[in-house]
Amino acid sequence: MASKDKNIRGYGSGSVDVVMSVDQVAKEAAAISASAPKKSDLEKLIKSDPFLTIHDLKAGYGKMEILHDFNLTVGKGESLCLIGPNGAGKSTVLHSIFGFTNIFSGTITVDGNDVTGLTPSQKLSNAGIAYILQDKSVFPQMTVEENLLMGGFLKNKPSEAKAATELVFDKYSRLADRRYKPAGVLSGGERRLLEISRALVMQPNVLLVDEPSIGLEPRFIDMVFGILEDLQKKDGKTIIMVEQNAKKGLAFADIGYVLVSGETAIANSGDKVLSNPDVGRLFLGG
């Protein structure tokens, strides 16, 4: 796993010669979707019992349905990466798990418990699910420590948030060294580390990570994926990720799903999705 990650640095390399229009990609992707994986295929991809499962979900914003009978399953301590064109509904999957969307039908279960109807704050405090925002979500004027304490505002007592914050500082000396500095002075990579750590304050089992690479320089991309790998492998966190830096995301994740127009067109191990020539041409830039 570690050696595999080293093959893809930053955003990866390669040519830019495959030029396809949005419509052309959509058309060819629709053809692939015809042989979309079944629920039983998805279950074969996980190595342990299902931990987080989405069953036949119809969800969207307002009255608009974006996900159509969407299914997903991931085992405890496993990682899954969603890739696909802009507007395919990848972020909507994360939003639905966390409770930001309108769910029209279907269920979401975590560790056997139905969490479909819980609010985001209930998800965070009771269901062990944390959502790591896409970008620029630190409070720049507040110190690193205050940012982490904000991550614990749902705790019953401030002292519990304080204790969890100390655990984060024990884990990441880079943040501990800067605990009294305003978050605004952190580098891009440290800021992303702070965003991830702030989510850890609630001690979640499931991390929903939205585009960890976005806006980051190549070195920090490798660093952030190293941190996520550590959280998965050492701390047993279950990670569901959306990543436009699809090569890096697929190299990282145990399982890869390709989403097209709100449905899963391809699902396989991360490696197999990464080496699938159709995926390369349509979604990885050739």
Partner 1 sequence: MTDIISVKNVSKSFGGVKANINVSLNVKNSSITGIIGPNGCGKTTLFNSIVGYHPIDTGAIEFDGQEIHHLPVGDIARLGMLRTFQQTRIYSKMNCVDNMQISVSHRKNSNSNIFASRKGEIKEKAEHLLEFVGLFSKRNLISGDLSFGQQKLLEFAMALMNDPKVLLLDEPTAGINPTLINGLIDRLRKANEEFGITLCVIEHNMRVIMNLANHIYCLANGKLLADGKPNDLQKDKRVIDAYLGGH
Output 110 or 253, the one with its CB closest to partner 1: 253
Name the minimum Å distance from CB 44 to partner 1: 27
Name the minimum Å distance from CB 18 to partner 1: 5
Output 15 or 40, the one with its CB closest to partner 1: 15
Angle in degrees, 0-180, between the axes of helices 218-233 and 188-200, rounded to the nearest 10: 20
Residues lying near partner 1 in the complex (CB under 8 A): 9-23, 25, 83-87, 187-189, 211, 214-220, 222, 244, 246-247, 281-286
Name the minimum Å distance from CB 15 to partner 1: 6
With 0-12 CB in 10 A as exposed, 13-18 as middle and 19+ as buried, what is 162?
middle
Residue-wise burial string across 204-242, b where 16 or more C-beta atoms lie within 10 A, e elsewhere: bbbbbbbbbbeebeeebbbbbbebbbebbeeeebbbbbb
Output 21 or 173, the one with its CB closest to partner 1: 21
Output 25 or 167, the one with its CB closest to partner 1: 25
Residue for token pair 């989405």: 54
Q: Cα torsion for 203, 51, 284, 273, to the nearest 10°? A: 140
Name the minimum Å distance from CB 141 to partner 1: 13
